[in-house]
């Protein structure tokens, strides 16, 4: 059972989750004993795909299928689905794995429907049992995990971002000439009455994307107001991280909507998640279940967030956060006196 890692690059270059996607694909291929393949679909010229194809080959793909057309740059997810519905069968793979970034989360289930395949989303672990794959994913808002076995001949799986480790470089030397196979887009993939991008505008967000951040300092209703987020921002700067917010803080107007984390906001998986003044409602915890380490600061000792935290501090954040920020700044050599900057 061959496994193909599907890399979407409508802007011409792949997103930041490619290595982790390949990590999942490597585990899936090992689980089945099948061949590991990769498929790149890019909105660029064919000649521009060489670096991406080489990178995927070095990460373990025996063959890299590449399809490129500059017209894909202004296409929506529907055009990518139409193209992949023709391209994935050409690879001969029974399992297609996509990164769970916003684009992949749109394309994966729709591709599964077009292919008549089983659809599995938010995959956080791959297990091999008797030559078959068990896909592990969160259910009930992250309160439990389910191991899912696909019952259809083909499967399309979408991987939760920043969960899998990137594989070590597995292949060295020159890329064999027959390792990269260029494919043409299926006829009609770019036609039809589909939505078309007519204008692009840069977003208003600054700093790191929450989905990519390895450290997130997040605030909730317990922060007490928008001024409290300034203390969070300083700690995030010291740790080289990003600032997030709970829905309660966003609804109160203390933080912009693009910082919202949780079931109705961003799904994040940082190495360290510092929850400040966040009660820990299940909807919020569903968005941070992929965090490797959780630290909570809250005045309420009964706050549910402490059940999800490895380290909890029952205290007013106004007393401890400036001291913590200052000590970390001195220890890390990043300016010091961050607390007293206020």
The residue with tokens 């007393």 is 319
Residue 300 has pLDDT above 90, yes or no: yes
**Could you report the per-residue pLDDT of 47-77, keeping only the tens digit for each?**
888 999 999 999 999 999 999 988 888 777 8
| Strand order through the sheet with 125-129 | 125-129, 132-139, 144-148
201 or 150, which is more confident? 150
pTM, full prediction? 0.76
* pLDDT band, residue 187 (cuts 50/70/90): confident
pLDDT, residue 83, reads 93
144 or 229, which is more confident? 229
Q: What percent of the chain has pLDDT over 70?
A: 92
Alpha-helix runs per DSSP H in the chain: 18-32, 50-58, 77-91, 102-115, 228-239, 247-251, 282-288, 305-308, 317-332
**Could you report the per-residue pLDDT of 333-342, keeping only the tens digit for each?**
876 554 444 4
Buried b or exposed e, range 252-265, using 16+ CB within 10 angstroms: bebbeebbbbbeeb
Rounded Cα–Cα distance for residues 7 and 15 (Å): 8
pLDDT, residue 14, reads 86
pLDDT, residue 143, reads 76
pLDDT, residue 276, reads 96
pLDDT, residue 338, reads 47
Residue 313 has pLDDT above 60, yes or no: yes
pLDDT, residue 114, reads 95
pLDDT, residue 192, reads 62
* pLDDT band, residue 314 (cuts 50/70/90): very high
Rounded Cα–Cα distance for residues 250 and 233 (Å): 15
Report the pLDDT averaged over residues 214-243. Answer: 94
pLDDT, residue 78, reads 87
CA atoms within 13 A on the CB side of 299: 9
136 or 201, which is more confident? 136
Q: What percent of the chain has pLDDT over 90?
A: 63
pLDDT, residue 202, reads 63
């Amino acid at each position: 059972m061959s496994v193909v890692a599907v890399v979407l690059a409508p802007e011409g270059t792949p997103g930041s989750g490619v290595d982790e996607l390949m990590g999942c694909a490597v585990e899936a291929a090992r689980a089945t004993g099948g061949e590991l393949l990769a498929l790149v679909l890019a909105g660029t010229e064919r000649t521009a795909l060489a670096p991406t194809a080489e990178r995927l080959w070095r990460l373990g793909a025996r063959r890299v299928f590449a399809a490129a057309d500059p017209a894909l740059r202004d296409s929506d997810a529907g055009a990518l689905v139409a193209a992949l519905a023709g391209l994935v069968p050409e690879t001969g793979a029974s399992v297609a794995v996509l990164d769970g970034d916003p684009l992949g989360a749109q394309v994966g289930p729709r591709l599964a429907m077009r292919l008549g395949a089983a659809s599995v989303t938010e995959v956080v672990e791959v297990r091999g049992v008797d030559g078959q794959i068990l896909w592990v994913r969160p259910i009930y808002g992250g309160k439990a995990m389910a191991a899912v076995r696909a019952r259809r001949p083909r499967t399309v799986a979408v991987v939760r971002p920043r969960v899998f480790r990137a594989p070590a470089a597995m292949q060295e030397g020159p890329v064999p000439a027959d390792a990269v196979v260029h494919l043409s887009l299926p006829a009609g993939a770019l036609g039809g009455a589909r939505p078309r991008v007519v204008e692009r505008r840069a977003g208003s967000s600054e700093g790191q994307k929450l989905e990519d951040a390895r450290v997130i300092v997040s605030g909730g209703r317990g922060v007490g107001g928008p001024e409290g987020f300034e203390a969070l921002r300083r700690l995030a700067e010291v740790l080289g991280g990003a600032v997030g917010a709970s829905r309660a803080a966003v609804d109160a107007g203390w933080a912009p909507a693009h910082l919202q984390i949780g079931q109705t906001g961003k799904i994040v998986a940082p190495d360290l998640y510092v929850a400040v003044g966040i009660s820990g409602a299940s909807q919020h915890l569903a968005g941070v279940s992929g965090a490797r380490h959780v630290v909570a600061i809250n005045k309420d000792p009964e706050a549910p967030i402490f059940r999800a935290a490895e380290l909890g501090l029952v205290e007013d954040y106004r007393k401890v956060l400036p001291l913590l920020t200052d000590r970390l700044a001195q220890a890390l050599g990043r300016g010091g006196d961050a607390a007293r900057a206020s």
